[in-house]
Amino acid sequence: MQGALVERWRAEGRLVPFCPEVSGGLAVPRPPAEIVGGDGGAVLDGTARVVTDAGADVTAEFLRGARLALAAAERSGARIALLKEGSPSCGSGRVYDGTFTGAPVPGAGVTTALLRRAGVSVFGEDDLDAVQELLTALEQTS
């Protein structure tokens, strides 16, 4: 059922594929990176950083990618984003704790935090049913 929803949304032209990390200038594959000192909201506020497992600061790339993702959402009129859970960019309910031990903590990624501040509803890839419920509700009020 989950794959069928995504295929239907694709056929309906509802999807805007976008990778903030690549758009922000990071390589594919990129080195592992985690938020140190908070979550994406703290990165936006300047009180946390995104660093690689080798210690390189990639905060600027994550911020650039988040801003470009917001611009793409605004251009397309997106009101909902479906992003990759756990990512330092896209995590919607959890990110990793910054110790590179695989320990998840509640929080949002940088792009998620920026999109939410702009009024976009953000969901993880396992929340397709919730996305469909919100789509239905939005269509009924339009």
Q: Is the pLDDT score of 1 beyond 70?
A: no
**Distant-in-sequence contacts of 94-97, Cβ < 8 A, 24+ apart:** 95/34, 95/35, 95/39, 95/40, 96/34, 96/35, 97/34
The confidence score (pLDDT) of residue 4 equals 87
Cα–Cα distance, 107 to 110 (Å, whole number)? 10
Domain ranges in the chain?
18-137
Q: Mind listing the pLDDT tens digit for each residue in 85-136?
A: 999 999 999 999 999 999 999 999 999 999 999 999 999 999 999 999 999 9
Which has the closest alpha carbon to 110: 57, 54, 35? 35
Which has the closest alpha carbon to 77: 142, 129, 125, 4? 142
Contact indicator for 76, 20 with CB cutoff of 8 Å = no
Q: Mind listing the pLDDT tens digit for each residue in 43-87?
A: 999 999 999 999 999 999 999 999 999 999 999 999 999 999 999
Q: Is the pLDDT score of 142 beyond 80?
A: no
pTM (whole model) above 0.75: yes
Confidence of residue 39 (pLDDT cuts 50, 70, 90): very high
Per-residue tokens: 59:
């905060």
